[in-house]
Amino acid sequence: MELVCPAGNLPSLKVAVKAGADAVYMGLQNATNARHFAGLNFTEKQMTQGIEFAQSRGCKVFLAVNTYPYCHDLPTWQQAVDTAAELKVDALILADMGVMDYACEKHPDLNIHLSVQGSATSAAAVNFFAEQFNIKRAVIPRVLSIKQVAHLVNNSLVPIEVFGFGSLCVMVEGRCLLSSYATGLGPNNHGACSPAEFVEWKNTDSHLETRLNGILIDQVAKDESVGYPVICKGRYQVNDQIGYAIEEPTSLNTLSILAELKAIGVAAVKVEGRQRSPAYVRQVTEVMRAAIDDCLTRPDKYVVKDSWNQTLGDLSEGQQTTLGAYYRNWQ
Amino acid sequence: MTKQNTKKLSLAPIPYFWDRDYTHQFYQQVAQSPIDIVYLGEVVCSKRRALSLQDWMTIGHDLQAAGKQVVLSTLSLVEAASELSVMTKICQQGDFMVEANDMSAVQLRTKFESNAFIAGSSLNIYNQRSLDKLKSLGLSRWVLPHEHNQQALHAFDLGNVELELPAWGRLSLAYSARCFTARTHNRSKDQCGFVCDQYPDGLAMKTQEQKDFLVINGIQTQSGTIQNHLEAINDDAVDILRITPQQNNCFEVIALFDQVRKQQLSVTDGQKQLTECTVHPISNGYWHQKAGKDWVA
């Protein structure tokens, strides 16, 4: 079971490699990937350096080109695919069928992984991409229970990668329009949800508010802290009650089910967080490496160490973690 | 005859959990309405079993007998093996066309001899190359994804693909493993008690300033606004205008769209009357390259 870690920039890539990632994933500095944030991602020169650094140490490099180009944008996405082929990444992480079709035709030897943004939640959907685009792996959305993951792994034509730690998308990835409904820009068409230019933090006499394109996402008393205004983690009024109607600020943490994920045949565990600091990437990679090593070497005796949970808990959104949809009652 | 007279009107599947009797009455009324194409089936939650696949087929045959074109729609978010098995039956049958609402349905449909399918708006088709790929696999009609604006649509060479535009109703914005309606009642999805039947028009999720924002419908999140694209009735790229059912004013809306397409009512007067017949705010932002929630007059 591989450990796949986020590389938002060169320093993060280096610490992830040193801390024991089996693979790192990165993106270019444009809307071709789902973490299109200012100051993040790689120039071509940095990619070359990163690939050399990682591959010479036995770590694979994946390039995420996992947003959806409109007709007139397609050449830019195709250029990203060409760049990946030229720089010899180990795999391209793609979501769009048009981009996949191009990659298959132009670079038939290039490995394609289906991005989580490709929204494949069943074996039939994964096998569609396997048969049509010869994908070598699929990353699946954070919507399946562990039993459903096992069923998918058993019936899929290709190995399956799942999310192991990081920010929790509550909605099926690739099919969430909440951000673009509020702002015009979202993960599919822009590579980011709640783009920074629409975010407003406002102090009133009694409250601290966060707004997205004018919409009140949350408000707290002045001495409390409030998270980044992603729509699914806001507080709203439903049936005269105010609360986290969709989900609380929390991070996914699969330490307690890692041995099970290994046992059902999951091929790789992914850590979310290209937007996070190198220090975060190092700490999470170290914990996940140690845990996966324990799973691999002593699967019957695997026990989650308190120190691992402590470290990951401290790094989590709202200092809370959850098993998300893997755990049926969360649903 | 101008092109706009040739526009067809379609009715999307019911997104909410309506009871069996109401659903039957509703489709009896649809049979008498000016709707040309009716999409049937449960597309949001497989736990809602007020009607079986057999029931939907029966309704479909009745509507067909009344002169409607009938399409069976598949579930939008497929997670369980049992859901795949119902979907397989839908994709295998030959009585009606199939609307594929996720790639599982496309995959299953391509396995059968009669492989033609309609791509639902939740399939991510953003560019010509994606559309062409699915055309080669049997796509015959395309329901435009919500994020596309008018200019993006016009960049496509549609060829013989029929273009259907979601023209009236709440937008489906997201799907989750979690049931938010059950969550509101402090229940998990497995113990939901079918509480969504209390909300035949969805459950409003307002901001803390009591402003309309989103609507919860089980595992689906919808827009708080009603999307209104009546203006597209004069767009040559559009063949079919789709209306999404709601209980309060569905047949009034259908009648207004019909009167505008027959030029018995101007677009301006149609807009005015549509706005008057809904209590919810309306939007058309995506079409004009703005936030989906916005209204561009």
Nearest to B126 among A70, A129, A172 (CB): A70
Residue B109 CA to residue B97 CA, distance in Å, equals 11
Taking residues B84-103, what's their average pLDDT? 95
Are B291 and A184 inside 8 Å of each other by CB? yes
Residues of A in contact with B295 (CB under 8 A): none
Distances (CA, A) of A290 to A21, A255, A259, A287, A299: 11, 11, 12, 5, 13
pLDDT of residue A299: 87
Say whether B174 sits in a helix, a strand or coil: strand
Nearest to B176 among A127, A171, A237 (CB): A171
Residue B64 CA to residue B70 CA, distance in Å, equals 6
pLDDT of residue B5: 61
Q: Does B282 touch chain A (CB under 8 A)?
A: no
What residues contact A68, with CB distance under 8 A and at least 6 apart?
A95, A96, A117, A188, A189, B124, B126, B127
pLDDT band at B3 (very low <50, low <70, confident <90, very high): very low
Contact present, A318 and A248 (Cβ < 8 Å): yes
Taking residues B145-158, what's their average pLDDT? 97
Count Cβ atoms below 10 Å from residue A44 Cβ, excluding itself. Answer: 12
Nearest-CA neighbor of A87 among A153, A152, A42, A31? A42
SS (H, E, C) chain A: CEEEEECCCHHHHHHHHHCCCCEEEECECCCCCCCCCCCCCECHHHHHHHHHHHHCCCCEEEEEECCCCCHHHHHHHHHHHHHHHHCCCCEEEECCHHHHHHHHHHCCCCCEEECHHHCCCCHHHHHHHHHHHCCCEEECCCCCCHHHHHHHHHHCCCCEEEEEEEECCCECCCCCCHHHHHHCCCHHHHCCCCCHHHEEEEECCCEEEEEECCEEEEEEECCCCCCCCCHHHCCEEECCEEECCCCCCCEEECHHHHHHHHHCCCCEEEECCCCCCHHHHHHHHHHHHHHHHHHHHCHHHCCCCHHHHHHHHHCCHHHCEECHHHCHHHC
Taking residues B249-258, what's their average pLDDT? 97
Helices A278-297, A10-18: inter-axial angle, 10-degree rounding: 30
pLDDT of residue A205: 86
Say how many CA atoms lie within 13 Å of A286 toward its Cβ. 16
Contact present, A276 and A251 (Cβ < 8 Å): no
Residue A303 CA to residue B96 CA, distance in Å, equals 53
Are B208 and A219 inside 8 Å of each other by CB? yes
Window B:180-199, CB contacts with A under 8 Å: 180, 183-184, 188-190
Nearest to A122 among B78, B124, B176 (CB): B78
Contact present, A38 and A3 (Cβ < 8 Å): no
pLDDT tens across A79-134, in order?
Answer: 999 999 999 999 999 999 999 999 999 999 999 999 999 999 999 999 999 999 99
pLDDT band at A265 (very low <50, low <70, confident <90, very high): very high
pLDDT band at A318 (very low <50, low <70, confident <90, very high): confident
**Is it the case that residue B4 has pLDDT exceeding 60?**
no
Are A188 and B126 inside 8 Å of each other by CB? yes
Window B:104-143, CB contacts with A under 8 Å: 104-108, 110, 122, 124-130, 133-134, 137
pLDDT tens across A208-230, in order?
Answer: 999 999 999 999 988 888 889 99
Are B77 and A219 inside 8 Å of each other by CB? no
Residues of A in contact with B192 (CB under 8 A): none
Handedness of CA A291, A295, A296, A298 (dihedral sign): positive
Choose the weakest-confidence range: B3-7, B178-182, B196-200, B271-275.
B3-7
A75 CB burial (10 A radius; 0-12, 13-18, 19+): exposed
pLDDT band at B74 (very low <50, low <70, confident <90, very high): very high
Backbone angles phi, psi at B192, to 5 degrees: -70, -25
Are B203 and A189 inside 8 Å of each other by CB? no
pLDDT band at B1 (very low <50, low <70, confident <90, very high): very low
Window A:211-230, CB contacts with B under 8 Å: 213, 215-219
Strand partners, B204: B215
Contact present, A286 and A303 (Cβ < 8 Å): no
Q: Does A257 touch chain B (CB under 8 A)?
A: no
Residues of B in contact with A143 (CB under 8 A): 77, 79, 175-177
**Is it the case that residue A184 has pLDDT exceeding 60?**
yes
Q: Does B147 touch chain A (CB under 8 A)?
A: yes
Query: In terms of CA atoms, which chain A residue is nearest residue B132?
Result: A98
Distances (CA, A) of A179 to A188, A280, B290: 10, 26, 12
pLDDT of residue A324: 93
Q: Does B103 touch chain A (CB under 8 A)?
A: yes
- The one-letter amino acid code at A117 reads Q
A242 CB burial (10 A radius; 0-12, 13-18, 19+): middle
pLDDT tens across A7-31, in order?
Answer: 999 999 999 999 999 999 999 999 9
Residues of B in contact with A78 (CB under 8 A): none
Residues of B in contact with A120 (CB under 8 A): 103
Report the CATH number of the A2-168+250-330 domain.
Answer: 3.20.20.70
Taking residues B110-128, what's their average pLDDT? 93
Q: Does B101 touch chain A (CB under 8 A)?
A: no
pLDDT of residue B249: 93
Q: Which strands, in side-by-side order, build the sheet including A199-203?
A: A199-203, A207-212, A215-221
Nearest to A182 among B104, B125, B293 (CB): B293
Window A:100-129, CB contacts with B under 8 Å: 101-102, 118-125, 127-129
Nearest to B106 among A95, A128, A331 (CB): A128
Are B183 and A95 inside 8 Å of each other by CB? no
- In total, the C-beta contacts within 8 angstroms joining chain A to chain B are 212
Query: In terms of CA atoms, which chain B residue is nearest residue A151?
Result: B81
Are A328 and B103 inside 8 Å of each other by CB? no
Mean pLDDT of chain B: 95
Q: Would you list the domain boundaries of chain A?
A: 2-168+250-330, 191-243
pLDDT of residue A224: 83
CATH class of B3-170+227-288: alpha beta
Handedness of CA A182, A229, A196, A319 (dihedral sign): negative
Q: Does A193 touch chain B (CB under 8 A)?
A: no
How far apart, in Å, do the first and last CA atoms of chain A sit? 26
Are B221 and A171 inside 8 Å of each other by CB? yes
**Is it the case that residue B90 has pLDDT exceeding 80?**
yes
Are A181 and B104 inside 8 Å of each other by CB? no
Structure-token pair, residue A79: 């250029």
Contact present, A94 and A143 (Cβ < 8 Å): no
Residue labelled with tokens 């559309």 = B131
Are B127 and A98 inside 8 Å of each other by CB? yes
> How far A226 CA lies from chain B's nearest CA (Å)?
15
Task: Determine which helix (DSSP H) or strand (DSSP E) holds B73, and give its type and residue range.
Answer: strand B69-73
Q: Does B291 touch chain A (CB under 8 A)?
A: yes
**Is it the case that residue B114 has pLDDT exceeding 80?**
no
